[in-house]
Amino acid sequence: MKLLFAQGNPGRQYARTRHNTGFIALDAVAEAHGGTWRNQDKFRADIAEISVEGEKVLLVKPLSFYNETGQVARALVDFYKLTPSEDVLVIHDELALPFGTIRVRQKGSDAGNNGIKSLNAHLGQDYARIRIGVWNERRNLMDDADFVLSAFSAEEAKQLNTLVTDTLVPLIEQFVQGTLETTSVKPTPKP
């Protein structure tokens, strides 16, 4: 079994914000694979179960806030007896990357991301992650918290949906198959 864990914040007011890029991505994966979200109070998460290449995959959107997600991940890893380095993939926004850039890493530090800091405190650093760039020129006009809690523009939301379908879903399938490699994918320039 594999665990796909998204970083984000619960609540409608955060639904389409940059910090919820992980949630947006998993919503698309659930839809593509016929997954249905169910609230699981004992794990403090919304969870959808899907199958990819015959492998059971849990999609997880924690109901804790972004900076406190480590406890949710730890409870799931312990309950299902998973090995983070083999079975866990975290999907999150990355303020340091230009919008639409995707970076895949097999492990690493938190690089200043408080949600990843929480995960590292509870799981260690040895788990795969997909970082999705959210930076744009508006970032220079506001502080980090305001920027990551701001909504995507209509054009960015459209591009993000395409990015998830064309690039992210195949990367997730590679993770499930055990063939995901460290990589960086830059956005295609607009014509």
Nearest to 152 by CA among 5, 25, 6, 2: 25
Domain membership of residue 84 (yes or no) is yes
Domain membership of residue 28 (yes or no) is yes
Kindly report the pTM of this predicted structure: 0.93
Domain membership of residue 87 (yes or no) is yes
Tokens of 49: 């179960």
Question: What is residue 174's predicted lDDT score, i.e. its pLDDT?
Answer: 92
Residue 7 in 3-state DSSP?
coil
Question: What is residue 184's predicted lDDT score, i.e. its pLDDT?
Answer: 86
Domain membership of residue 63 (yes or no) is yes
Question: How many domains are contained in the chain?
Answer: 1
Domain membership of residue 85 (yes or no) is yes
Domain membership of residue 115 (yes or no) is yes
Instruction: Mark whether 19 is an active-site residue.
Output: yes
Which runs of E-coded beta strand occur in 7-138? 38-40, 45-52, 55-62, 88-98, 102-105, 128-135
Return the axis-axis angle of helices 114-123 and 70-79, rounded to nearest 10°.
30
Radius of gyration of the chain (CA): 15
Domain membership of residue 180 (yes or no) is yes
Question: What is residue 72's predicted lDDT score, i.e. its pLDDT?
Answer: 97
Question: What is residue 18's predicted lDDT score, i.e. its pLDDT?
Answer: 94
Nearest to 23 by CA among 92, 108, 113: 92
Domain membership of residue 190 (yes or no) is no
Residue 137 in 3-state DSSP?
helix
The answer to whether residues 132 and 25 touch, using CB atoms and an 8 Å cutoff, is: yes
Who contacts 12 (Cβ-Cβ below 8 Å, separation ≥6)? none
Nearest to 28 by CA among 178, 177, 160: 160
| CA distance linking residue 18 with residue 92, whole number of Å | 9
List the chain residues with pLDDT less than 70. 188-191
Question: What is residue 83's predicted lDDT score, i.e. its pLDDT?
Answer: 97
Question: What is residue 191's predicted lDDT score, i.e. its pLDDT?
Answer: 47
Residue 84 domain boundaries:
2-185
Q: What is the CATH number of the domain that holds 124?
A: 3.40.50.1470
Question: What is residue 40's predicted lDDT score, i.e. its pLDDT?
Answer: 97
The answer to whether residues 165 and 32 touch, using CB atoms and an 8 Å cutoff, is: yes
